Chains A and B, each alone.
Chain A
Amino acid sequence: MSKYESRLLRIKKDPQQYTALLSKGNTTVLAGPGSGKTTVLTMKIVKLLNEDILAPRGLACVTFSNEAAKEFRSRLKELGLKKRDNVFLGTVHSFCISEIIVPFGHLYPKYNIPLPLNIISSKNKSTLFKNVLDDLGIEYEQVSILEMNKERYQNLNGKTAVNIPSYDLALRVATEYEKRLVELGFVDFEIIIKYATLLIQEEDFVRKCLEAKFPWILIDEYQDLGRPLHEMILSLIDSTAIKIFAVGDPDQSIYSFSGGIPDYLLELFNFSNMNKVSLKTNYRSNQDIVDASELALNVTEKRNYIAGTRFGEMAEFSFITCEDGMDDQYKYVLNTLIPDCVKRGTSLDEIAVIVASNKEASELSRLCDVSSIPNYISKHDFERSEIVVWMEQCATWVHDPTAVSFEDIYSFWRKIQSVHGLKTLKILDMEKKRALYDILTDSTRHKNSLGSWIAFILNKINVRNLLKNSSAYPDELTNLEKLYKLSIAGKFSRYNISMFSRLGKPQNQITITTRHSSKGLEFEVIILLGMDEERFPSFASLSNERKLAEEHRIFFVCVSRAKSNCYLLRSNYYNVYSKKYNKSYRIRYYESRFWSTIYTWYSASRVAPFQ
């Protein structure tokens, strides 16, 4: 039986999943934690391409990140999908560039889209931002670059009825910043998305072309993608025959700082002519965890999620109060919890420590290193950019040539070169392909040391020269240097390339992650640190209903990562630094409301076997 067929059999057993797979029109799938949304989405793609959409027409699948696109690509390969034209798989950003701005931007000079796109580097962007703040007389503390970016979409026209409050100071900065950006002839992520949205909204021909090319557009993690994508989709639903298949979970919307709010997905879901599917069965966690996470969410409307696995199993919750700050919690994790778990037979891969910030993650990671506990941080100092993901693919190929196609690796390489003005003559194509083939084959001798492998590859393909002053990938060289540094002296210094190729997944390591980055992951045991009121939820959220609701969703995401076990840790005292007095104070903290909710529920349902 093929992988597709066996997956199909499984899907058929879940009526909601099956409905989603078969749906013919616009469909919104609300997918709870562990409900198999990626399976449904990838199977839907394969089904559409193999049965419903005739070549040359294809489809577009928009993912939240490059890693997600990579994951989709390998899943689709497993499902036996043949390569074909006019299929897009990638982020919103690359969709906007390669499917809208590049083919159509030049046809409409009235929008003054600067072509070819000259992307501003993040360093220059932050300089420009600071200049704007200086010139407008605004303190750096008052507006962050993220707050400004959010306001950039305020002046979009559109159809959504969702209204989000604007931050007027940030809006002022955004207007001035964008004016200067345009004057300089640069573009950034936000303006690219705006141009693309405009082209879709205003130009019938663009919509017609998209409709011809993509009879279906599928979107993963809809709740994270924000207003511009939502407006694009509304415009396409309104005036084309394109069918939308949107998947997401409003309860897992935790990116409001970049404009993602649950309301857009819900608006889409509630459209009258929308096929509505809710995936309610959780194939990850036992029923206790499912129930606890629903409590975490703190909403009146019941979600009614049901565990589809681990029947009859009870979850274990532990509540641990330490004395002093994060340090005591770290110590407890290292000295007690991890050894306990190991003793009980839990593999390190199945343990995650969820912390509040990247800073805490690296602190803990350093301590783990000292105690020789293998650990893995899902959020890196570098970005998993297209090029980094490509390097991972190269590593995968070197390690196992059957796992990815060399053809794909080469064609990306060729694309990167041509984007930088290095045309590949057809007569030299084979030469070039062989050269890359030889380099990769040759690199096998460095496979045991990631550092020397990366150095070898970067040198041989001369990527530094290529990316110097790149207008398409202005931050990439710095990014690669960061990766390289980590591989020789940092976190990855003991990595081999096989570990690099599986960068997204821990390898007999405990995972250390921030609450946001934990999304999409799953573990037998999760350990939640810093469960104190005014820390989680944070002090700033307490007086803001929207923010507080989002903190509840973050907690929901965290708890629902667990399959069976959940540890909550807090401390009675923290040292808090006051800028005003340039001094640290030892301050008493109390249980977080999240802690209390779970504690109350758990103690009521158990005979209190915990301290």
Chain B
Amino acid sequence: MPTPFISRVRIKNFRNFHDIDVELGKKQVIIGENNVGKSNFLRAIQLILDPQLNEEDRYLEVTDFNNGLEAPMEKGEIIEISIEIKEFKHNKNLLCQFNGAVIKTDPDTMRLTYRYYSIPKEEGGFRYDYIIFKGENEESEFRHSDRKYLNLKVIKPIRDVESEMKNSKKSPLTALLKDYNIDISDLELIANNIKQQNDEVLKLGELKNLERRINNRFLKFVELQPDSSVEMSTNEYKTNRILQSLKLMLGERSVTETSLGLTNILYMTLILLAIEDKTIIPYFKNDKFLELQSVDSTGVLTNCYEQNISGHWELKNSLEESLIISLYEFLDSNNPKDEGITLLAIEEPEAHLHPSIQRVIYKDLFQRNDASVLMTTHSTHITSVAPIESIVHLYRSKAKGTKVNSSVNLILDPDDIEDLARYIDAKRGEIYFGKGVVLVEGIAEEYLIPQFAELLEMPLDYKGIIVCNINSTNFEPYVKFLISLGIPYVVITDGDYYEVEGEEKKFHRMLHDEAESIGYYGQEIISRIIVNLNIIDAIDSDCLPTDFNELDEVFNENGFFDGMYTLEVDIMEKAAKSKGALEVLSNIFNCLTSGGSRQKQNFKKSLESGSYWDCLRKIEASGNNIGKGRYAQRLATECTVHHVPGYISNAINYIYQKVDEQN
């Protein structure tokens, strides 16, 4: 079912945004560090769509101008925010109210623009005013009444859910009940019955007795007047009170007595129900149903509803999409409602929720197709279940205020998307929270690179740089993803030197002068990524240098760093240049291996003779019970700068610089 959603946001000069233009999808998770402007991003949209904001809120102040502007209101600078909305043409109310806002028909797209603009005063200086207009026509004003049909509801991060649930006017439960348009006469009947039942109490002798006593005393104080006797009565039951007095119970407890966590879940549940498009009605009384049925030539009603025991009609569960669409069309024409569409924005929905509950709720929210949601979050539990194409990344750039990127237009193979999603889920979305990302291919790098960075006095944590081990050399989707989000990255991969003998590539050899035809598999991988992703302007593989060193230079300029052989071998080769360092390596082997002293001797010999591949085989040999991971884990605690291969220190330098550039 199509659902209206904000498909594009442009912001100029508002708060931390200098000039941004970002495309969005139906479900959007807005991420970014504290203070980067996530709330301001929502605020910009609120200026147009939030009915809760008042006229004064929409008159901005000098502090609302971007910091980069000097004396903005003296120079007559303008703040402009425009949003585009897609997928609304199925809803006649929206089409009716907003056809003047349409800027494109295929796909149907409307634009709303907020402009805080200046008008020169005769005596110098400027006067300011704002307009919100539909489409391209400034004369076509977007007014308060328009927000009845298209609005944004923002749920704040620190919310007093309890009091909102208790307050019968604000409670989403009241709103949901109201949607049913329950027949007043039904309620009146119930109210009368309650009154009658309650009145039974008055017949109790004790009450009669008390009434008499009060009257006796009272009449002594007042002059005897007609109608001045005192009577007991029960409460009047007003029909509207009946619905307002309803409350939800969790288990046996009323909501106010349960944990804040559960209350929050319940609150979110109600909110999500309350903002659903109300064209499709979940429940029809029989007479209304029959009335509609009489104009239903296609039988769509009968297909979609079933009669319950009391003879009324309930919407069936899990209907086919095509059926829902025809039902929507039918009801939109034959049972129109004076209602509109609410877009939902949730700020930090993780508040008060246990991580596992966060995952469950938001997985459901993301997978259900029928509501547009914007949310800001710091929760890795939420980002880890967010679809790959739903991320909006806000980050600072030195010169131009906050920048915004989104992954909505990311085009990837379905397989790659799945890989990426699985990776992000397994790693709980950590990739989103790095100010910079080091992509590596294995466990050894994952252990060692943070430590190497410490040794180089460029600690990664300090800059918020994260090492992501993707456990393969399929870097391409990750790089593409990070580029789309504007997150700085560096790729570190093995050189994988090989020699060609006849038709065959021989790996695991060391470079030597006699080798006639050699190559680096790592370089081939990187070349492919650079070409496929157009990382260098107008390049194709023919233009890449053929010289290995020159090629590396090109790679390094663009954030790709490859070693010579494989990480361990490169470490050994580096360590060989200073005596103590090699010893550290053999000591670790000795410590970890389950083999005897002979084996330890052999390892040392190989290491000292430069047979590094041999050493690596010994580390990996299953009989020794070590493995690359365990070896690297131990090495991480004992390594020194002398173990850090050059390409890794270059890579760390690179990402440090990139992150610095952005902050």
A residues with a Cβ closer than 8 A to B are: 54-58, 85-86, 102-104, 106-107, 203, 205, 208-209, 211-213, 241, 418-419, 423, 425-428
**B371 to A: closest C-beta gap in Å:** 21
Asked whether, in the complex, the Cβ of A427 is within 8 Å of the Cβ of B129, the reply is yes
Asked if B97 is at the interface (CB within 8 A of a chain A CB), the reply is yes
Asked if B89 is at the interface (CB within 8 A of a chain A CB), the reply is yes
**A418 to B: closest C-beta gap in Å:** 5
CA distance A494 to B414 in the complex (A): 84
Q: With A56-B97, A85-B145 given, is the CB distance from A425 to B127 under 8 Å?
A: yes
Asked whether, in the complex, the Cβ of B92 is within 8 Å of the Cβ of A212, the reply is yes
Asked if B130 is at the interface (CB within 8 A of a chain A CB), the reply is yes
Q: With A54-B336, A55-B338 given, is the CB distance from A103 to B102 under 8 Å?
A: yes
B96 contacts across to A, CB distance below 8 A: 56-58, 86, 209, 212-213
Asked if B149 is at the interface (CB within 8 A of a chain A CB), the reply is yes
**A344 to B: closest C-beta gap in Å:** 56
| Chain B contacts with A in 305-359, Cβ cutoff 8 A | 333, 336-338
Asked if B204 is at the interface (CB within 8 A of a chain A CB), the reply is no
A106 contacts across to B, CB distance below 8 A: 136
Asked whether, in the complex, the Cβ of A213 is within 8 Å of the Cβ of B127, the reply is no
Asked whether, in the complex, the Cβ of A425 is within 8 Å of the Cβ of B149, the reply is no
Asked whether, in the complex, the Cβ of B104 is within 8 Å of the Cβ of A107, the reply is yes
Asked whether, in the complex, the Cβ of B139 is within 8 Å of the Cβ of A418, the reply is yes
Asked whether, in the complex, the Cβ of A205 is within 8 Å of the Cβ of B108, the reply is yes
CA distance A203 to B338 in the complex (A): 27
Q: Please, how many residues of chain B have a CB less than 8 angstroms from a CB on the other chain?
A: 33
Identify 20 new A-B residue pairs, CB closer than 8 A, beyond the known A57-B96, A208-B89, A426-B131: A54-B336, A86-B96, A102-B100, A102-B137, A103-B135, A103-B137, A103-B140, A205-B89, A205-B105, A205-B106, A205-B108, A209-B95, A209-B96, A209-B102, A211-B92, A212-B93, A212-B95, A423-B138, A425-B129, A428-B129
CA distance A205 to B105 in the complex (A): 7
| Chain B contacts with A in 122-165, Cβ cutoff 8 A | 127, 129-131, 135-140, 145, 148-149
| Chain B contacts with A in 148-188, Cβ cutoff 8 A | 148-149
A427 contacts across to B, CB distance below 8 A: 127, 129
Asked whether, in the complex, the Cβ of B93 is within 8 Å of the Cβ of A56, the reply is yes
Asked whether, in the complex, the Cβ of B130 is within 8 Å of the Cβ of A426, the reply is yes
B residues with a Cβ closer than 8 A to A are: 89, 92-97, 99-100, 102-106, 108, 119, 127, 129-131, 135-140, 145, 148-149, 333, 336-338
Q: Which of A56, A203, A419, A428 has the most CB of B within 10 A?
A: A56
CA distance A427 to B116 in the complex (A): 12
Asked whether, in the complex, the Cβ of A54 is within 8 Å of the Cβ of B338, the reply is yes
Q: List 22 A-B contacts (CB under 8 A).
A: A54-B336, A54-B337, A56-B96, A56-B148, A56-B149, A57-B336, A86-B96, A102-B137, A103-B99, A103-B102, A103-B137, A104-B102, A106-B136, A205-B105, A209-B95, A212-B92, A212-B99, A213-B96, A423-B138, A425-B129, A426-B129, A427-B127
Asked whether, in the complex, the Cβ of B338 is within 8 Å of the Cβ of A56, the reply is yes
**B300 to A: closest C-beta gap in Å:** 15
Asked whether, in the complex, the Cβ of B338 is within 8 Å of the Cβ of A107, the reply is no
A58 contacts across to B, CB distance below 8 A: 96
CA distance A102 to B92 in the complex (A): 20
**B360 to A: closest C-beta gap in Å:** 38
CA distance A85 to B99 in the complex (A): 13
**A82 to B: closest C-beta gap in Å:** 13
Asked whether, in the complex, the Cβ of B137 is within 8 Å of the Cβ of A208, the reply is no
CA distance A216 to B565 in the complex (A): 77
**A196 to B: closest C-beta gap in Å:** 14
CA distance A203 to B95 in the complex (A): 15
Q: Chain B's interface: helix, strand, loop or mixed, by majority?
A: mixed
CA distance A83 to B119 in the complex (A): 32
A208 contacts across to B, CB distance below 8 A: 89, 95
A241 contacts across to B, CB distance below 8 A: 333
**B121 to A: closest C-beta gap in Å:** 12
B100 contacts across to A, CB distance below 8 A: 102-103
CA distance A106 to B148 in the complex (A): 27
Q: Which residue of B lies closest to A414 (CB)?
A: B139
Other-chain residue from B97, B119, B136 in contact with A425 (beta carbon distance below 8 A) = B119
A418 contacts across to B, CB distance below 8 A: 139
B97 contacts across to A, CB distance below 8 A: 56, 85-86
Q: Which residue of B lies closest to A425 (CB)?
A: B129
Asked whether, in the complex, the Cβ of B337 is within 8 Å of the Cβ of A57, the reply is no
CA distance A203 to B99 in the complex (A): 14
Q: Which residue of A lies closest to B103 (CB)?
A: A107
**A143 to B: closest C-beta gap in Å:** 38
A55 contacts across to B, CB distance below 8 A: 338
CA distance A208 to B103 in the complex (A): 15
A85 contacts across to B, CB distance below 8 A: 97, 145
B95 contacts across to A, CB distance below 8 A: 208-209, 212-213
Asked whether, in the complex, the Cβ of B105 is within 8 Å of the Cβ of A107, the reply is yes
CA distance A86 to B106 in the complex (A): 24
Q: Which residue of B lies closest to A423 (CB)?
A: B138
In the A-B complex, list the 5 residue pairs whose CB atoms are closest, starting with the nearest: A212-B95, A209-B99, A212-B96, A212-B92, A205-B105
B149 contacts across to A, CB distance below 8 A: 56
**B46 to A: closest C-beta gap in Å:** 19
CA distance A85 to B106 in the complex (A): 26
**A555 to B: closest C-beta gap in Å:** 45
A56 contacts across to B, CB distance below 8 A: 93, 96-97, 148-149, 338
CA distance A427 to B130 in the complex (A): 9
CA distance A214 to B105 in the complex (A): 19
Q: Which residue of B lies closest to A205 (CB)?
A: B105
CA distance A56 to B338 in the complex (A): 6
CA distance A427 to B100 in the complex (A): 24
B106 contacts across to A, CB distance below 8 A: 205
**B276 to A: closest C-beta gap in Å:** 19
CA distance A55 to B339 in the complex (A): 8
**B239 to A: closest C-beta gap in Å:** 24
Q: Which of A106, A107, A208, A209 has the most CB of B within 10 A?
A: A209
Asked whether, in the complex, the Cβ of B130 is within 8 Å of the Cβ of A213, the reply is no
Q: Which of A55, A241, A426 has the most CB of B within 10 A?
A: A55
CA distance A427 to B127 in the complex (A): 9
CA distance A107 to B104 in the complex (A): 6
CA distance A209 to B91 in the complex (A): 10
B92 contacts across to A, CB distance below 8 A: 57, 211-212
Q: Which of B95, B119, B130, B333 has the most CB of A within 10 A?
A: B95
CA distance A571 to B205 in the complex (A): 106
CA distance A54 to B332 in the complex (A): 11
**B6 to A: closest C-beta gap in Å:** 20
CA distance A208 to B99 in the complex (A): 10
Q: Which of B89, B96, B102, B138 has the most CB of A within 10 A?
A: B96
A426 contacts across to B, CB distance below 8 A: 129-131
B104 contacts across to A, CB distance below 8 A: 107
**A110 to B: closest C-beta gap in Å:** 12
**B55 to A: closest C-beta gap in Å:** 9
Q: Which of B108, B145, B336, B338 has the most CB of A within 10 A?
A: B336
A107 contacts across to B, CB distance below 8 A: 102-105
Q: Which residue of A lies closest to B336 (CB)?
A: A54
CA distance A55 to B93 in the complex (A): 8
Q: Which residue of B lies closest to A106 (CB)?
A: B136
CA distance A419 to B140 in the complex (A): 11
**A26 to B: closest C-beta gap in Å:** 15
CA distance A85 to B139 in the complex (A): 16
Q: With A103-B102, A107-B103, A212-B99 given, is the CB distance from A57 to B129 under 8 Å?
A: no
B108 contacts across to A, CB distance below 8 A: 205
CA distance A103 to B139 in the complex (A): 11
A209 contacts across to B, CB distance below 8 A: 95-96, 99, 102
CA distance A57 to B127 in the complex (A): 37
B145 contacts across to A, CB distance below 8 A: 85
A104 contacts across to B, CB distance below 8 A: 99, 102
B99 contacts across to A, CB distance below 8 A: 103-104, 209, 212-213
